[in-house]
Amino acid sequence: MTRFTPEELEAARDRLVPDVVADGLRVLFCGINPGLMTAATGHHFARPGNRFWPVLHLSGFTPRLLKPSEQRELLSYGLGITNVVARASARADELSAEEYREGGRLLAEKVARLGPRWLAVVGVTAYRAAFDDKKAVVGPQERTIGGSRVWVLPNPSGLNAHWTAATMAEEFARLRVAAEQG
C-alpha cells in the first residue's frame, strides 16, 4: 500500500471519490463520507484499520478478501458503494447536521434512481442524522426508498470498539441472507 505524508493526506481533504454503482444491485453499501486515505487513493474504505473489506468477506458477501483497489469487482457480486456525504474529511465529526440532511436527500434520490434491493448504511449515527430517525438501531428499518429496503449496519471503522470484526460479520451476514431471499 502506498504511504502518504500528512501533507498529501491533508491535500485530499474535500475531494470527491466516485461511487461504485450500477442499476439493480443486490446491496448498495453507504459509508458516512470518504476519509482522507480513501480520497488520496480513490478507493473506498482504504484506511488500513477499517474493517469493511474483511467483514464483507467474513460475512460471505465476497468469496475472498478484496483489497480496496479491487472495489470495482464488487459490481460482479451485485454490490456497490456510495456515501451519505460526498466530501472527504479527516473525521466524520467534521460534517455538519445540514451536510448529513442534504446527503440523506441526495442519497434517497440516488437509491430511487438506481433501485438496489437493499441500501445498507454503515453507521447508525450517520443514518439517524441523514434521515432524521433518532430511534434507529442496527438492523432492518421500516423505511423504504422507492422499492429499496434499508438496513443499518455497524460502522466498520477501527474506532468503533463496540463491535468486533466477528460480531460485525454476523450482522453483515444477516443482511446477506435477507438480500439472497429477495
Catalytic residues: 33, 44
Cα gap 15→87, rounded to integer Å? 6
With a CB cutoff of 8 Å and minimum separation 6, the contacts of 114 are 21, 22, 23, 24, 25, 28, 80
Burial of residue 182 (number of CB atoms within 10 Å: 0-12, 13-18, 19+): exposed
- Do the beta carbons of residue 12 and residue 39 sit within 8 Å? yes
Cα gap 39→87, rounded to integer Å? 9
